[in-house]
Amino acid sequence: MKEHKASPHTVFNPAYGLTSVTGSSIVTNSASIQSWNVEPQIKWEKEWGKANLNILVGTTFQQRQTSQVSISGEGFQNNSQILDVFAANEITDGDDQESKYNYNAIFGRLNFKWAGKYIMNLTGRRDGSSRFGPGRQFGYFGAVGAAWIFSEETFLENHGLLSYGKFRTSYGVTGSDNIGNYGFYNTYETSDGNYNGPIVLPEKLFNPTFGWEETRKFEVGLELGFLNDRVLFTTAWYRNHSSNQLLGIPLPGTTGFNSVNANFDATVENTGLEIDFRSVNIKNTHFNWTTTFNISMPKNKLIKFDGLEHSIFANKYVVGQPLNIKKLYHMTGVDPETGVYQFEDYNKNGEIDPGDLSEDRQWIEDTAPKFHGGLNNIFNYKNLSLELFFQFKKQRGADVFYNSKNPGGFSNQHVFVLNRWQQDGDETSVQRYTIGESVEGREVMSAYANYENSNARYTDTSFIRLRNVSLSYAIPKETASGLGVRVYLQGQNLLTITKSLKADPEHSSATALPILRHFTLGLELSL
Partner 1 sequence: MRFKYRDTVPYQWFFILNFRGCNLLNLTILMGSLTACTDFVEVDLPKNQLSAASIFEDALVTETAINGVYYQMRTNGLISGDGLSVSMGLYTDELDYYKLGREEPLENYQNHTVRSNDLIVANLWNSAYTQVYTVNAILDGVENSVNLTSEEKDQFKGEALFVRSYLHLLLAELFGDIPYIKGIDYEVNKAVTRIPRVLAYDDIIADLILAVDLLPDEDISEERIRPYASVAEAVLARAYLYTQQWTLAEAMADRVITKFGALEPDLSKVFLKEASGTIWQFKPNADGDNTNEGTNFIFTIGPPSNIAMSDLLFGAFESGDLRQSSWVKEVSNTANTETWCHAFKYKEQSNTGSSVEYSIQLRLAEQYLIRAESRAHLGDISGAQADINAVRNRAGLDNTAAVTLNELLDAILQERRVELFTEQGHRWFDLKRMGKATEVLGAIKPNWKDIHMLLPVPDKELTLNPNLLPQNNGY
- CA–CA distances in Å: residue 56 to residues 43, 110, 114: 4, 7, 18
Single out the segment in contact with partner 1 by CB under 8 A; choices: 14-22, 88-96, 144-152, 317-325. 88-96
Total chain residues near partner 1 (CB under 8 A): 93
Cα–Cα distance between 519 and 220 in angstroms, integer?
A: 42
Q: Does 90 bind partner 1 (CB under 8 A)?
A: no
Least distance CB 358 / partner 1 (angstroms): 9
Per CB under 8 A, the list member of 22, 80, 186, 520 interacting with partner 1 is 186
Q: CB–CB of 379/386 below 8 Å?
A: yes
Per CB under 8 A, the list member of 96, 306, 424, 427 interacting with partner 1 is 96
Least distance CB 227 / partner 1 (angstroms): 38
Closest CA to 325 of 267, 366, 357, 368: 366
Cα–Cα distance between 161 and 323 in angstroms, integer?
A: 43
Task: List, as one string, the DSSP characters of 476-511.
Answer: PTTTTTT-EEEEEEEEEEEEEEES--SS-TTSSSSS
Within residues 254-313, the interface with partner 1 by CB under 8 A covers 254-258, 260, 310-312
Main-chain dihedrals φ then ψ at residue 187, nearest 5 degrees: -125, 160
User: Within 10 Å of residue 184's Cβ, how many Cβ atoms?
Assistant: 21
Q: Does 44 bind partner 1 (CB under 8 A)?
A: yes
Cα–Cα distance between 339 and 82 in angstroms, integer?
A: 60
Per CB under 8 A, the list member of 13, 154, 158, 196 interacting with partner 1 is 196
Within residues 45-64, the interface with partner 1 by CB under 8 A covers 45, 57, 59, 61
Q: Does 124 bind partner 1 (CB under 8 A)?
A: no
Q: CB–CB of 143/172 below 8 Å?
A: yes
Q: Which is nearer to partner 1, 250 or 374 (CB)?
A: 250
Q: Residue 114: beta bridge partners?
A: 51, 118
Contact mark string toward partner 1, 229..258, x via CB under 8 A: ---------------------xxxxxxxxx
How many CA within 13 A on the CB side of residue 56? 14
Q: Residue 174: beta bridge partners?
A: 215
Per CB under 8 A, the list member of 114, 188, 381, 519 interacting with partner 1 is 188
Least distance CB 18 / partner 1 (angstroms): 18
Cα–Cα distance between 332 and 347 in angstroms, integer?
A: 15
Closest CA to 151 of 219, 224, 221, 220: 224
Q: Which is nearer to partner 1, 155 or 410 (CB)?
A: 410
Least distance CB 138 / partner 1 (angstroms): 8
**Rounded to a whole number, what is the distance in angstroms from the first to the last CA of the chain?**
36
Per CB under 8 A, the list member of 148, 150, 167, 206 interacting with partner 1 is 206
Contact mark string toward partner 1, 10..39, x via CB under 8 A: -----------------x-x-xxxxxxxxx
Per CB under 8 A, the list member of 152, 203, 366, 443 interacting with partner 1 is 203
Q: Which is nearer to partner 1, 17 or 208 (CB)?
A: 208
Q: Which is nearer to partner 1, 260 or 323 (CB)?
A: 260
Q: Which is nearer to partner 1, 225 or 408 (CB)?
A: 408
Closest CA to 390 of 504, 496, 298, 282: 496
Q: Which is nearer to partner 1, 61 or 226 (CB)?
A: 61
Least distance CB 211 / partner 1 (angstroms): 12
Per CB under 8 A, the list member of 47, 90, 95, 153 interacting with partner 1 is 95
Within residues 412-451, the interface with partner 1 by CB under 8 A covers 436-437, 442, 445-446, 449
Cα–Cα distance between 59 and 44 in angstroms, integer?
A: 15
Q: Which is nearer to partner 1, 72 or 496 (CB)?
A: 72
Least distance CB 445 / partner 1 (angstroms): 7
User: Within 10 Å of residue 404's Cβ, how many Cβ atoms?
Assistant: 19
Instruction: Identify the helix (H) or strand (E) that includes residue 450.
Output: helix 438-452
Least distance CB 61 / partner 1 (angstroms): 7
Within residues 145-184, the interface with partner 1 by CB under 8 A covers 181-182
Instruction: Identify the helix (H) or strand (E) that includes residue 444.
Output: helix 438-452
Cα–Cα distance between 428 and 343 in angstroms, integer?
A: 15
Q: Which is nearer to partner 1, 301 or 405 (CB)?
A: 405
The conformation of residue 406, written as its DSSP 8-state character, comes to: -
Per CB under 8 A, the list member of 21, 91, 199, 487 interacting with partner 1 is 199
Q: Which is nearer to partner 1, 286 or 310 (CB)?
A: 310
Within residues 358-397, the interface with partner 1 by CB under 8 A covers none
Q: CB–CB of 400/413 below 8 Å?
A: no
Least distance CB 306 / partner 1 (angstroms): 14
Closest CA to 302 of 314, 287, 290, 292: 314
Within residues 498-527, the interface with partner 1 by CB under 8 A covers none
Within residues 340-359, the interface with partner 1 by CB under 8 A covers 354-357
Least distance CB 394 / partner 1 (angstroms): 34
How many CA within 13 A on the CB side of residue 7? 13
